[in-house]
Amino acid sequence: MIVRGVFHCHTEVSKDATLTHEDLAAFAREQGFGFVLLGEHRDRMTEDEVREAAARCDALSTEDLLLVPGQEQEVPAPLKFHIVGIGVREPILATEPIAIVDEIRAAGGVSVLAHPTRYRTHPAPADLLDAVDGIEVFNLRYDGRHGAREEVRALLETRPETLAIAGFDAHDPDDLRRAETPVLVVEVERLAEAEVVAAISAGRFTIEMAGEPVDLRRPTPLVRRAGAGLRRGLFGVARGAKRGLDRIGIRLPERWVRAARRRF
């Protein structure tokens, strides 16, 4: 059977999100999704909170909708890479990049390097890119509306085995009203958590954005139309302006910064 769903969602247990598990379940039902893959901020949760969040997912999962527990672990500063473990129920303890990936694999989960766009000052090293099961080539929160960024897409060119995955990174009710929500279309024998995780791990999925199938390994039509160069240029100007303000001690509201990231 073919099942649709979303990857990389946060709830209030992540501390920086206001969505509840109930909100996500209601949204998924309304969209006809069969699964929601969580990726809660592990570094902001206690071990008990991780287990409680998994129990919450189980309590709300039904025959036709799975909330699949997952964590997003942050590597300590200055690297701050985010690695999502899909289907990992026990708290991730490792904080070193490769150790996190190994721990996710040992737990039967799928490891995904989240939003590589974010690591501008410390790009993800080759050994990490080689180690993860997948790369979040497109993240709706960081990569705007136009599709995967060229420099991130290029990471897959030398890694044909790496999963090219698109993330929703939903935090707040507003995020649920986005038309561009990236959707995973997965092929499974029956709707069960282990089946969905195994199908993703084996690459038995495709991606849809704005209702259209997209191949994240190729420049998306939207990117071509919008002009990636122009977009990067505008982003550079906006980022320069923000740095200038940072330097003189003016901090823009996080809401504005996020809105700007989406636009470019």
Binding region for Zn ion (CB under 5 A): 72, 82, 114, 169
Between 23 and 169, whose beta carbon lies closer to Zn ion?
169
Q: Pick between residue 143 and residue 169 the one whose CB is nearest to Zn ion.
A: 169
Question: 65 or 114, CB closer to Zn ion?
Answer: 114
Residue length, the chain? 264
CB-nearer residue toward Zn ion: 56 or 82: 82
Name the minimum Å distance from CB 82 to Zn ion: 4
CB of 10 to Zn ion, least distance (A): 6
Please enumerate in sequence order all residues whose Cβ is within 8 A of that of 5, keeping only pairs 6 or more positions apart, or say none.
28, 33, 34, 35, 36, 37, 66, 183, 184, 186, 196
Question: For residues 38 and 183, which CB has a smaller minimum distance to Zn ion in the complex?
Answer: 38
DSSP assignments along 88-146, one per residue: --SPP---SHHHHHHHHHHTT-EEEE--GGG-SSSPPPHHHHHHSSEEEEEETTTS-SS
Return contacts of 76-83, CB within 8 angstroms, 24+ apart.
78/121, 78/122, 79/119, 79/122, 80/118, 80/119, 80/122, 81/113, 81/114, 81/119, 81/122, 81/124, 81/128, 82/113, 82/114, 82/115, 82/118, 83/111, 83/112, 83/113, 83/114, 83/132
CB of 114 to Zn ion, least distance (A): 5
CB of residue 103 to Zn ion, shortest distance in Å: 18
Nearest distance in Å: CB 209, Zn ion = 18
Q: For residue 158, how far is the Cα from the chain centroid? A: 21
Shortest approach of Zn ion to residue 152 CB, angstroms?
14
* Residue of closest CB approach to Zn ion: 82
Residue 103 or 136 having the CB closest to Zn ion: 136
Do the beta carbons of residue 69 and residue 39 sit within 8 Å? no
